[in-house]
Amino acid sequence: MGDLLGVAVLGAGHMGADHIRRVDQVVSGARVVAVADPDTDRAKEAVAGLDAVTVHEDAVAALDAAGVEAVLIASPGPAHEEALLAAFARGLPVLCEKPMVPDSTGALRVVEAEARLGRRLAQIGFMRRYDAEYQRLKSLLDSGQLGRPLMLHCTHRNVSSPPYFTSAMLIDSSVSHEIDAARWLLGQELTAVTVLSPRSSANAPEGLLDPQLVLFETDGGALVDVEVFVNCGFGYQVRCEAVCESGSARIGDDHTMVVTTRGSTHEDVPLDYLVRFADAYDREVQSWVDATRQGLVTGPSVWDGYASSAVAEAGVRALDSGGRVAVELAPRPDLYGNVSR
């Protein structure tokens, strides 16, 4: 490894371009050496001004480019499995955006491929685990000061959804974050899902079931409810309140300045995740680079990616059927220890 970890970024869209900027300008210890996107103009635009970066139409070709020592996958979810397996075949460490692989069968193939290697190579991009507010909530719950957690009430609102968004993606793309956060905060697996949807908002694209109310049960006897509303129009709002036996704790309102002038109080609301979770993405990628340079893999594992996909898949079935759907998880390979903590 040279002085700087050579990173290939796959996908130069909204997230990929932001991660390219982050690796180039924010994070220490790494540099972008290759970028792949079938839309090569988009890739070229994302690397404009960077030195010595090769641009590729094909993701797998980028992994074989000169200087590549690690891979950051920011292509759409359905492209992740092929990229992860190609990285594993080359022994390359990976940071893969969520959802790891949207369908649980493909996600399990990734778990099995890494387990066959006998060592972890991939970290999954559940960046909320790197957010200061989520970390404070996790420490408080772990301390036991509030007693046993009974319920998590979560809100996940986006101003608008991308044009390709489907009713299933509210669950397997958006709520995938709450699924991971709940497993991590509670140290419990989610075991069953029920989904209800009210009349769709007039602001939602025709046919999109938006908002939805998703209710999870856990193997520790807790309940987790999530309001997901991806065309709310008014702001990016992500909140979580833990209700425990002897107290409650709420996060999600603490990241902005509150200005009071005569007779009114004003608070800015972020408009998207790149603003709300900017620090979390920075910490996530820095932590991945630091660990990779030491030959370590930390952070959410491919098992966490698989569990999130399996729970989300049950959620999509619950949405379609209107009933309660149990989550079926495959046996967890020893490589991944206990429930994500």
Interacting partner of 79 out of ligand NAI, ligand ISE, none (Cβ under 5 to 8 A depending on kind): ligand NAI
Cα 178 to chain center, whole Å? 9
Residues 289-318 that bind ligand NAI (CB under 6 A): none
Using CA atoms of 136, 137, 143, 146 in order, give the dihedral in degrees to the nearest 10: 140
The residues near 116 (Cβ < 8 Å, ≥ 6 apart) are none
Q: Name which of 77 and 299 has its Cβ closer to ligand NAI.
A: 77
3-state secondary structure of 89: helix
Q: Name which of 88 and 288 has its Cβ closer to ligand ISE.
A: 288
3-state secondary structure of 259: strand
Task: Give the burial string for 322-336 (b: 16+ CB within 10 Å, else e).
Answer: eeebebebeebeebb
3-state secondary structure of 336: helix
Secondary structure string (H, E, C) spanning 121-160: CEEEECHHHHCHHHHHHHHHHHHCCCCCEEEEEEEEECCC
Among 230, 244, 285, 289, binds ligand ISE (CB under 6 A): 230
Among 273, 288, 303, 336, binds ligand ISE (CB under 6 A): 273
In this chain, which stretch among 24-32, 73-81, 86-94, 149-157 interacts with ligand NAI, using CB under 6 A? 73-81
Letters for 154-193 (x = contact with ligand NAI by CB under 6 A, - = none) are -------------------x--------------------
Letters for 105-124 (x = contact with ligand NAI by CB under 6 A, - = none) are --------------------
Inter-axis angle of helices 132-143 and 176-186, to 10 degrees? 30
Residues 157-176 that bind ligand ISE (CB under 6 A): 158, 173-174
Q: Name which of 31 and 98 has its Cβ closer to ligand ISE.
A: 98
Verify binding: residue 47, ligand NAI, rule CB under 6 A: no
Interacting partner of 67 out of ligand NAI, ligand ISE, none (Cβ under 5 to 8 A depending on kind): none
Q: Per the structure block, which two tokens stand in for 168? A: 């299933």
Q: By the criterion CB under 6 A, which residues form the site for ligand NAI? A: 10-16, 36-39, 42, 59, 74-77, 79, 97-98, 125, 127, 173, 273
